[in-house]
Structure 1
Amino acid sequence: MLDTMGGKKSENYQQFQTLACDAFQVLRTNSNLLITLLVLALTCGIPELTSVNNIKWVHKTLMLDLPDDEARDAFKKLINRCVLRSRRNSDLDDDPDVYGNEPRASNYENRKWSMEETVEVDDGNQDQWIGSPHTLTAGFLLMLWIVNAAFHEPVEQFEDPDEQYAADVKRGTKYACVFFLTYCTLQLPDGHFLRPHPVVWRLLTGLFILYEMLLIMLLFLRTDDARQFMKVFDSSLGKELPETSYATDCRIYTPENEESHFANLRATFLDRFVIMHFFGWIVGSLMVRSKMISWTLSVMFELYEITFSHWLANFNECWWDHVFFDIFTCNAAGIYLGMKICRYFEMRRFNWVGIRKIPNLSGKAKRALAQFTPAYWMAYDWKIFRSAERFWRVVSMITILSMMMLNSFFLKTVLWVPASSNVNIYRLGVWYSAGSYAVAEYYIFCSFTMSYHGGNKTAVKKLGPRAWLGIAVVVTEVLVIFKHGQGMFTEPFPAYVKIIWALIFALVVGGSTIYFTFFNKPAVTEKKEQ
């Protein structure tokens, strides 16, 4: 049994597990013996015995079979120490007979969801300084910093009053943002992501809110003022961009080039955007955790490039660049590696122990590094064709993510931000970090259910705050593009583009209507029965 406590399944442990499962029905006639067995199973982490039904039965008999209040409280504490994470057809299995008549908000807000198993996550922070909020201390230090900056920080003096006013506004805005981010870090509620620390994800949420506020401000500026305002982030901005096309010479073989007879292929392959494409699709796959959705986004983006190539010069690419370098090289390799990482975390067994409970220094060091890895991992099963509602929710997510990717190029064009500017990296960093959170909350909105009075289940009706914010940011980006891009995108779409999208629209709408009307009747019947 010592091996069991250490997390290793020895031969004795497997024998005990088999015997315990076989003896379950016999022991059920004796409540005390069964409760003892389940206590041992919870301690050893046997998922076959610690299922929802068994825990439910113990809760029902607990008040009758345990001798006194002290024994009942001790057993309840043992149950509560374990985080029951159950997934039944992508639904949270929560019975009101066990947990009360009201839906447990913690099932939606609880960060510990993953595969069906009983898991105890101990980050060892409950009794440590880092695990405490320290809101008063942090607030006091923040105000000291602001007071020192306001009254004692050296300020550059300008002869021009307008320049002095602009410099003062910039300093005030900087410290206002610092105050806002500190407030978000200390006071925003925790979400589903824990590692490396909830503070990190609260800070990223605050940055996402600041980005949305920046977009709203740009929306109310004149176009020239908005372009000049971008100099705040990069002094080299505010200049009109030259048009760059990647389709000026689409030859594969270039015999006149002495350096390389395949100069065009070489130049494309060595372009730094190849690496950015590769890593971008790794992160994208980790966000959606679906090979089908990732490939759909990949192919659709190449269609977007063809669609808007008459508006954006850098969307003009050679055919072999679209097909081989983008879809089947950079995108495919990124999606493959991203899904491999997802599968690795799905199959991995997470058994976290607090740093203070590890006896040796090397173990503590490994545990400290593990703090920067996920505490648990949930595989997304989007079940796209389960119902028409689920299908259109996933299509909506694909549309929103596509708009987010397209906005990168249109924003650069209308605000005069070159591809080499770090502003693009800042935006993508905020989007990919906060966007992964938003996709997770959207998955919960699409897939999870909550239990109400009488055990009836209903879908989660409230969209998570970060998913809501992500949609708001995408919409605001589109509004900024529409306002500051007036007069830039006037050339009509070519006829072949209209034909392609008409066929795609007819296929998606018509095909889904036929499928969910005539070929998906069992799913509809099952939904009605539930």
Structure 2
Amino acid sequence: MHPDGSIQAESNSSKADRALFNSSEARRARLLPSAEKKKRRMPRKGKGRREMAGSRHPLIEAVDPLAEIFYRPRTVTVMTVGLCLLAWFSDAFGLYGTKFSAENGVKRGLWALIGTFLAYSALYAPHTFMIRPHPIVWRIVHGVTILYMLFLVLVLFLDADQARHAFKYLYPDLGVALDERAYGNDCRVFTPENTSSRFANIMDTVLDEFVLAHLLGWVAKALIFRDWKILLFLSIGFELMELTFAHMLPNFNECWWDSWILDVLLCNNIGMLIGLFAIQRREKYGNEWVGVSSQPTILLKAKRLFLQFTPETVERYEWKMMSSPKRFIQCMTLAAACLACEVNAFFMKFVLWIPPRNMLNTYRLFVFFLMVIPAVNEYYYFVTKTGKEQVNKLGVFTWIFLSCTFLEFLIIFKFGRELFREPWPPLVKWSWMAAGASTTVALLIWTVSRRNKLKTQ
């Protein structure tokens, strides 16, 4: 099989080899240098030396002839072209004699810095377990997430006014306090006085511009987490977050039928069903991929090229959240981190005065979406694999995701000290204290009873 998407029908022996590749231990052995590998002699010439130069992803065994050109090393070419572009756009040789203002020069320099860093990441960033549509895509994603993390570090060292007005360099209309919309001002289901609709409040909510984005978001979550229990916990958990922080953010003030019927029962569940159904359908394709060059018609070649942007294989995650107290805590840690990331989105735009329709919110969402896809995969192997396949440390994307989430929390806490002065409602405070105490007691009882049961066996 050719994991890059250019895959011929495989024999039984190659299928057995591929099964070994799917284990976490085998992947790590391929990705990480070992003393045993260092002892092997370096090939003196030919193909072996080129392969050890890091030009191809360790999980890619063979490449379709049509795609071979995209898997050859181009480090010197990229460096040469990149340096020429920098020389041209910086007018290093004074060819067109244009003088830039200090502000314009800084902007151009920052874009050049970003481009240079992403070019380096594309060539030399660490390999991940993601190889579709091309390993270089995920190396660039790694670079983008690092840049976002460094950007958060920079914002953290500014004060609130400096950070808010700094965004005016990207969008001049920013830097103005927001007028947050509250969805729970009128929670009546029936509005007889409204001439356009007897259910005006419900229709306004259903036809809101963010409903489709909400549905697609839950389709994406189902494709990422691939487990109904965790998805259900995230669904209910976010509504509880809205109730918890409604006294801080007017945007979280929603009607009961909006939160629990339209969101939890309908929109969220429909998105989950679509995503899990897509996972189930994708599992039926199996591993028998045929390369583009082996397709008989142009239509089939185009279809195969499109499938290159889908996962090579889809593995249904078996989190087994209720199998043990430790696994329950591990799954709850993942869910808590994801809920914190979602809640951060609303607080970040509030403290930084970024309107909901501004593209910066979309860029942040896109960065986190690309970050979470490999992060959840890495965390799944980290918590589920045992014995020889055990993974002893967090993956790089999981590390970056947790770091970015906590950095955003620090920014919100720092900038929000003057904004969120209202005390916690007693109901919210005592409810969470009771939930925490009950969960702790339940986990202790579960741990003791499970330990006693294992002793008797």
1:170 Cα shift? Answer: 1.4
Higher-Rg structure is 1
Change (3 A) 1:127 1:285: closer
1:124 to 61, 64, 69: 64
1:129 and 1:234 map into 2 onto residues whose CA distance is 40
- 1:218-257 alignment to 2 at 5 Å? 218-257=155-194
1:171 Cα shift? Answer: 1.2
Structure 2 equivalent of residue 491 of structure 1: 422
1:525 and 1:194 map into 2 onto residues whose CA distance is 47
1:508 Cα shift? Answer: 2.1
Amino acid at match of 1:391: F
1:37-67 CA-partner distances (Å, limit 9, x unpaired): xxx7427x5xxxx5xxxxxxxxxxxxxxxxx
Query: What is the TM-score when the length of structure 1 is the normalising length?
Result: 0.74
1:240-279 CA-partner distances (Å, limit 9, x unpaired): 1013211111111111111111111110000011111111
- 1:446-457 alignment to 2 at 5 Å? 446-449=383-386, 451=388
Amino acid at match of 1:238: G
1:222 and 1:93 map into 2 onto residues whose CA distance is 47
Change (3 A) 1:372 1:93: closer
1:357 to 278, 294, 297: 294
Structure 1 equivalent of residue 438 of structure 2: 507
Contact 1:92 1:450 in 2 (8 A): no
In the alignment, structure 1 residue 429 sits paired with structure 2 residue 360: no
Structure 1 equivalent of residue 46 of structure 2: none
Change (3 A) 1:184 1:190: same
1:143 to 74, 83, 94: 83
1:346-375 CA-partner distances (Å, limit 9, x unpaired): 333121222233344333222212111111
Amino acid at match of 1:412: K
1:204 Cα shift? Answer: 1.2
1:522 Cα shift? Answer: 5.7
1:215 Cα shift? Answer: 0.6
Amino acid at match of 2:89: A
Contact 1:121 1:351 in 2 (8 A): no
Contact 2:226 2:316 in 1 (8 A): yes
Structure 1 equivalent of residue 407 of structure 2: 476
The farther-off stretch of 190-199 and 210-219 is 190-199
1:513 and 1:447 map into 2 onto residues whose CA distance is 22
1:178 Cα shift? Answer: 0.6
The farther-off stretch of 230-239 and 185-194 is 230-239
Structure 1 equivalent of residue 120 of structure 2: 183
Contact 1:297 1:402 in 2 (8 A): yes
Change (3 A) 1:333 1:180: same
Structure 1 equivalent of residue 344 of structure 2: 407
How many aligned positions are there? 426
Structure 2 equivalent of residue 306 of structure 1: 243
Contact 1:414 1:484 in 2 (8 A): yes
Contact 1:208 1:434 in 2 (8 A): yes
1:42 to 6, 9, 13: 13
Amino acid at match of 1:132: R
* Structure 1 unaligned blocks of 5 or more: 1-5, 9-39, 51-78, 105-109, 113-119, 159-163, 452-456
- Identical columns (%): 34
Structural RMSD (CA): 3.0
Contact 2:164 2:353 in 1 (8 A): yes
Amino acid at match of 1:128: E
1:216 Cα shift? Answer: 0.5
1:86 Cα shift? Answer: 5.8
2:313 to 354, 372, 376: 376
- 1:68-467 alignment to 2 at 5 Å? 82=18, 84-85=20-21, 123-124=63-64, 128-151=68-91, 164-449=101-386, 451=388, 459-467=390-398
Contact 1:122 1:354 in 2 (8 A): no
